[in-house]
Amino acid sequence: MENNFENPFHGAGQVGQAVLEPTRRSSPRTPPFPYSSLPFASSNAKSPTPSPSPVVIPPGHNIVAPTLTEPVWETVQRDLSRILSNLKLVLFPNPHREDPGKALRDWDLWGPFFFVIFLGLTLSWSASIKKSEIFAVSFALLGIGAIVLTLNVLLLGGKIIFFQSLSLLGYCLFPLDIGALICLFKGHFIARMIAVFVTMFWSSWAAYPFISSAVTQKRKALALYPLLLMYVSVAFLIIATS
Amino acid sequence: MDQNQPAGENYANPKTCFFHVLFKAAALAFYILSALFFDSFVIIFVVTVVLAALDFWVVKNVSGRILVGLRWWNEINEQGESVWKFECLDQESLARMNKKDSWLFWWTIYLNAVAWIFLGIFSIIRFEPDYVLVVGVCLSLSIANIVGFTRCRKDAKKQIQQFATQTIASRFSSTLQSAFSVV
């Protein structure tokens, strides 16, 4: 999760203190985090450089750790914008797909959480019988499936971080959410099937580069097969319950 | 009012304390009482888990910051490794933190986890795997917060100690220097 799982870089403008080193890539959206050599900044700071003349911090303001005193609304906005940007990164073609390790750097689990719940609710809504069971089954399938897929990649010797991979698999569920939503509108059966398959291919296309780049060449098929299997089974679940 | 307490030693952030407790209590209450009102497991699951997730977010981002001045998160650095980061307010602000606020903060998150463990034991005894799923999700959210904030607090104490030794060392060396310059 969350979790849950933060990225404190929004709004941390340049405040005239020594920047130690940016601990992540600088993007136009987030300026490098202004670590200072004041001892109560975040820990895990690498070698400190001496700070310039002391900055007077007015009481109540915290320049050293700006996110510690930001208003609540800013935190909400930061989280929401992060969900959106992660979604765009994962689902749409962009240059970062060439280097997937860097792409989902600031992972979060809120997006996946909402998508999984949404998928469960849609499936449960469109089912005519056994609504509760379908919801529980779909939630458990998606949750445990994501964990098992991640473990699979890790056990194949892949270099991927547990939460990052969970987050990625959750975001890749978004097209299937759209497919399930389309299936809610009881149209022609063939049309629904085509829609679901299109979204399934979209999901697999979205997840493919991240998983395949994490394992060695020989084991790509071993890592990708369970992934495709899971998306196919979710697609059939959607079709079956509609 | 307690005579030994300084006048006005009350909750410094009553609104934050209220929200801190609200979502936890709502999740627990809804879970316990829902069996009386709702048939549908889906509603129970979704509402309880959403309340627990909201509580997780509030504790991590709002009440942790405001009540105890701590914050933790996870980052992935350039080498692709995951790094846990902890942040705390500087020492004067930490010392100014309201004792009642932090007491409430810590005790409620511990009690919340204990309550969910109890409910989990009940649902295991009654062989209801669906409800074990709900309890499992809520419990893992509370434990995540407990672990995060405990590590953050330990880190903050370590930093304070380091700062203390650093100040003593720098004072010592500066007195030495001034002593030698006078000579």
B90 → chain A, closest CA residue: A40
The phi, psi pair for B70, rounded to 5°, reads -120, 155
**Cβ <8 Å between A42 and B86:** yes
User: Distance between terminal CA atoms of chain A?
Assistant: 30
Residues with Cβ within 8 Å of residue A132, at least 6 apart in sequence: A124, B40, B41, B42, B130
Residue A18, domain member (yes or no): no
A26 within some domain: no
The parent domain of residue A105 ranges over 74-90+98-240
The Cβ-side half-sphere exposure at A177, using a 13 Å CA radius, reads: 21
Top residue of B18, B78, B134, B170 to mutate, by most chain A CBs within 10 Å, is: B78
pLDDT for A30 beyond 60: no
Mean pLDDT (whole number) for A65-94 = 79
Q: What ipTM does the predicted assembly reach?
A: 0.72
**Would residue A108 count as lying in a domain?**
yes
Residue A42 lies in a domain: no
Closest Cβ–Cβ partner in A8, A124, A136 for B73: A8
pLDDT above 90: percentage of residues in chain A: 1
pLDDT value of position A161: 80
Task: Write the pLDDT tens digit of every residue in A53-75.
Answer: 444 444 444 444 566 667 778 88
In this complex, do A68 and B87 lie within 8 Å of one another by their Cβ atoms? Answer: yes
Burial class (CB in 10 A: 0-12, 13-18, 19+), B50: middle
Query: Is A157 within the bounds of a domain?
Result: yes
Instruction: Write the pLDDT tens digit of every residue in B112-143.
Output: 999 999 999 988 998 888 888 889 989 999 99
For the segment A186-198, the average pLDDT, to the nearest whole number, is 85
B 42-61: CB under 8 A from A: 42, 45-46, 49-50, 53, 56-57, 60-61
- Average pLDDT (A155-161) is 80
Greatest Cα-to-Cα distance within chain B, rounded to the nearest angstrom? 87
Strand partners, B71: B87
- Are B159 and A40 within 8 A, CB to CB? yes
Mean predicted lDDT score pLDDT of chain B? 83
Q: Searching chain B, which residue's CA lies closest to the CA of residue A75? A: B61
Which of A10, A20, A43 to mutate to test binding with chain B, by most B CBs within 10 Å of its CB?
Answer: A43
Q: What is the 3-state secondary structure (H, E, C) of B1-53?
A: CCCCCCCCCCCCCHHHHHHHHHHHHHHHHHHHHHHHHCCCHHHHHHHHHHHHH
Does A144 score more than 60 pLDDT? yes
- Please say if the pLDDT value at position A176 is more than 70: yes
Helix count and strand count (H, E) for chain A: 8, 0
CB contact under 8 A, B159 and A39: yes
Query: In angstroms, rounded to a whole number, what is the distance separating the alpha carbons of residues A173 and A111?
Result: 10
Burial of B111 (0-12, 13-18, 19+ CB in 10 A): middle
Judge whether B79 is closer than 8 Å to chain A, CB to CB: no
CB contact under 8 A, B71 and A68: yes
By DSSP bridging, strand B82-88 and strand B70-76 are antiparallel
CB neighbours of residue A14 within 10 Å: 9
Q: How many domains does chain A have?
A: 1
SS3 B165: helix
Determine the residue type at A84.
L
Q: What percent of chain B has pLDDT over 90?
A: 17
Alpha helices in A49-109 (DSSP H): 72-91, 100-103
Name which residue leads in pLDDT, A186 or A181.
A181
Q: Reply yes or no on whether the pLDDT at B1 is more than 50.
A: no
Residue A3 lies in a domain: no
- Mapping DSSP to helix (H, G, I), strand (E, B) and coil, where does residue B56 land? helix
Residue B114 has what pLDDT?
Answer: 93
Residue of A nearest to B162 (CA): A39
A-chain CB neighbours of B41 within 8 Å are: 132, 135-136
Q: How many CA atoms lie within 13 A of A101 on its CB side?
A: 13
Instruction: Tell whether B95 lies on the interface with A, counting CB pairs under 8 A.
Output: no
Residues of B in contact with A3 (CB under 8 A): 53, 56, 141, 144
* Angle A36-A42-A48 from CA coordinates, rounded to 5°: 40
Q: Tell me, what's the pLDDT at A190?
A: 86
pLDDT of amino acid A43 = 41
A57 occurs within a structural domain:
no
Q: Are A238 and A215 in contact (CB under 8 A)?
A: no
- Give a yes or no: residue A12 inside a domain: no
Name the residue with higher pLDDT: B147 or A131.
Answer: B147
